[in-house]
Structure 1
Amino acid sequence: MDLLYEDFPHILDTRQFPLSFIERLGRTANAIRTDPSRFRKVLRGKKVVVLFSQPSLRTFESSIEAAEMLGARVHAFENAAEFSSIKKGETIKDTIRILKHYNSDFFIIRWHTEGSVHAAADVAGLSHPVINAGDGPGQHPTQALLDEYTIRREFKSFDRPLVIGMVGDLLRGRTTHSLTYLLGKLYPNVSFFFISPDSARMKPEIIDYLKRHQRRYVEVPSARLDQYAAACDVLYMTRPQTDQEDDPEARARLIAEYQSFILTPEIVATMKPESIIMHPLPRTFELPEEIDDDPRARYFEQAENGLWVRMALLTEIQTQLQLAA
């Protein structure tokens, strides 16, 4: 069952957003990138806690920068599971309870176990928004929001038919899960190719979600990337999530299977001139650096968009809190 918009002002799952919110968020992001100085007082007097128990560069740094550019004080914990009372056995719920008493207003949380960010939101309450920055193997909604924004800026709208090719480890990659949920809910003109090794197919519950919404998709496990890249408007590359696999043999098998999912210059040459290449980063061998100069490469712009979208998201949350006060 889809989540309800009433979860707002918490940002927990991409299924919670109506189209009106996504469109407003995009307009706010455009306004911020045009003149960031207009927004430097949005969070003046507010304290934002960035609490991460998993490694991150783009999400961690852009979340801090977004809050600071909006005028907030930021307290950031990059290795919270190792360098806080959580290492002594404290639950994330108790951590949030304590931090609320220390004048924290917003929480941006990435946690290694699925469900923990939702538990934090339950404790925080509606007056202390929680933004999910990665919920174990679950969702990563802010990544999906910046991905949608990147695609919208490129193609201007989702009114025309668009083919999104999701490539790689679709079983473990929470960025592809979140983006598929978001696009699958909102845009009937979007269709999907799921291009993956047989051992890394898209989760069955996401396939079921697309079926319920009568969205078009094709699963192409064990196929070669070069057989489908030319048909895609957006090629969304992902890395092999070997860090989520404990079995050494399974890791080696995944890497071996990935050899058919490397985006080579020869494959790029078959793609539409107006298509784009995206990647949530970090990358490994699946996206060689020699692709970076291709005019279709958008992954560094995609990463930059994370700053504007996260600023817009904080701005929208603060606006709604003020209206509700």
Structure 2
Amino acid sequence: MRTRTLSGIPPNLSRAWRRTVSNTARSATRPTTLEHLCISEKTRVVYQGFTGTTATNNAKEAIAHGTRIVGGVSTNKGGTTHLGLPVFDNISQAAKQLKPDASLVYVPAVAAASAIEQAIEAEVPLIVSLAEHVPAHDMLRVHQMLRTQTASRLLGPNCPGIIAPSKCRIGIIPAAQCTPGRVGIVSRSGTMIYEAVGATGRVGLGQSLAIGLGGDMMPGTTMEEALQVLIEHDQTEAIILIGEIGGNSEFRTADAIREYYLDASTKTKKPIIAIISGRTAPEGRVMGHAGALLSPGEQGAMAKARALEDAGATVLPHLGMLDRVLQSTLR
């Protein structure tokens, strides 16, 4: 451990600060923090913003689903209990006492970046942020901080979270709709991940792990990173990728798929099914959330679909075909 001063951010976008972060060596082959996305019934979860009404209701649902919630954080309520669990004034105290594997940041957008930063300082392995409309300048600071450490993995913001059905839910993915199974799902769209969950359930395949990346322009975890997690995830036999307009993550994901299928060291390959939404989206208009924006001159949904198909993925024009393709793929 050592203290670093963050640099590289324009003075008008930052404030004077010093951060204490992990100085552990980074893996040369893949980011060491990706493994924190492999949640299970053993994952110890804390909430930041624990005693709020919405967080309380969410925690009750998560506990009923099997999630191992061990406590939470609420300012000026340290030393009390909530839902029979200990409450701390800050995440640093909670991390020292509870040793969590993950934190669900259940605070408004204006406070989200600060809560994420505090969780990074406390070296919480997985940080899930739900809030939409987190200021872009705030996320610049968060990403600069993430680059200086190797202890924490961020999922979100503006994401529905992550779920290993009947084991652990961190976020707002409807647990009642999920069933344990064989298919891993990665989605930039929140609502479309629910549709994919429904499709895998209807055909009796269920879900091994469902990861909602979030719809902002600067997500903590990208599609190609989440794909790597599912490729290496033992309980996952097939993968569904749901992309959309905006950004170039799908093109990087296509490169990763191509490398995966060409890698001779792995004989058995997992089938990958991809869907790209926004094929009729007009240029220059935000479609639902900040990241779903086709900028002038940017390649659109059709180009992304072609890239994924050329890489070896099975690309579907719409979600309505998912049931039938899943059945034929994993008979």
TM-score range, shorter chain: 0.3 to 0.5
Q: Which has the higher contact order (CA 8 A, sep 6+)?
A: 1
Q: Which of the pair is proportionally richer in strand?
A: 2
- Provide TM-score, normalisation by structure 2: 0.35
Of Structure 1 and Structure 2, which has the larger fraction of its residues in helix? 1
